[in-house]
Amino acid sequence: MNKKASLHVLVFVFLVLTLCISSLYMYVVYKGEITAQVDEHENLESLLLREKEIGLFFDELIEESFYKTYQEFVNEGKYVAEQRKDVGGRFVFDLLNSTWEEEFKEDFSKNLEERVGGIELSNYEDWKMIRDRILEKGFDISFEDGKLIFSTHMDLEREDSGGGMGVVYDFKTVAEEDFSELIIFENLENVREECSLANFEKCMKEKLENFDVSVERRFAMLDGESKEFYFVDLKSKQEFLFDARFSKIEFSFAQRIV
């Protein structure tokens, strides 16, 4: 073989090796980019899943706290203006408590904070941030059209456990708890006043369709005098989850007959 032919062969082999090395390098780089995209996609999917799961779980906590507050509220007679168990261990419902909304929101906030503060979710790093923000009063509560509106909006930032870039995302929850499944207290006052002008028991049963209603008419002592009352017992037809079990909402009051 002459020297010129040998040179051509060497050049050809060199070009082939260069092409192979370049292809291998491009494959490694391309594969790395695809892997990074897949990892980023999986992290996003995981983040969104966690956010959705925590949001659903948080909504359940709001519901539980709402129904617990309602039951405690009626147990303590906070919907009546004068909270005295004067007649047979019952509150006399003469007037509606004008500040019941503010008191209900305050009690609801305490119950929610207590419920949230007692929960540890080791599988969700973001939960601790949400929990701490709630305990710092990072939420708003209002009443609108017979509903309690709970809302929170927080920016959460968490460092990547692998030492990479941190994750920042919005956690938003707007929950509406509707009194229509029970009864809002202004409506209860209107119903009892309207029914006092008709067949009281029949009217109450028709108006309070979400409750089983029992009415007894009898005399009882109040302020040293014998007076006539309707003794009203209400029990919700639906069960609600609070205090770790499903229960019906129950309460009673005495309606003065005039």
Q: pTM value?
A: 0.75
Q: Of 119-123, 159-163, 180-184, which gets the smallest average pLDDT? A: 159-163
55 with 173: CB under 8 angstroms?
yes
pLDDT digits (tens, 9 = 90+) for 34-68: 233 334 444 555 655 566 677 778 888 889 999 99
Task: Tell how far CA 119 is from the center of its chain.
Answer: 14
Question: Whole-angstrom Cα distance, residue 23 to residue 60?
Answer: 55
pLDDT digits (tens, 9 = 90+) for 88-130: 889 999 899 999 999 999 999 999 999 888 887 766 667 777 7
Task: Tell how far CA 230 is from the center of its chain.
Answer: 37
Can you state the angle between helices 125-135 and 100-117, rounded to 10 degrees? 150
75 band by pLDDT with thresholds 50, 70 and 90: very high
Question: Whole-angstrom Cα distance, residue 116 to residue 61?
Answer: 7
Higher per-residue pLDDT: 127 or 13: 127
Question: Whole-angstrom Cα distance, residue 131 to residue 207?
Answer: 40
Domain boundaries, the chain: 57-78+98-181, 185-256
Question: Whole-angstrom Cα distance, residue 163 to residue 160?
Answer: 5
1 band by pLDDT with thresholds 50, 70 and 90: low
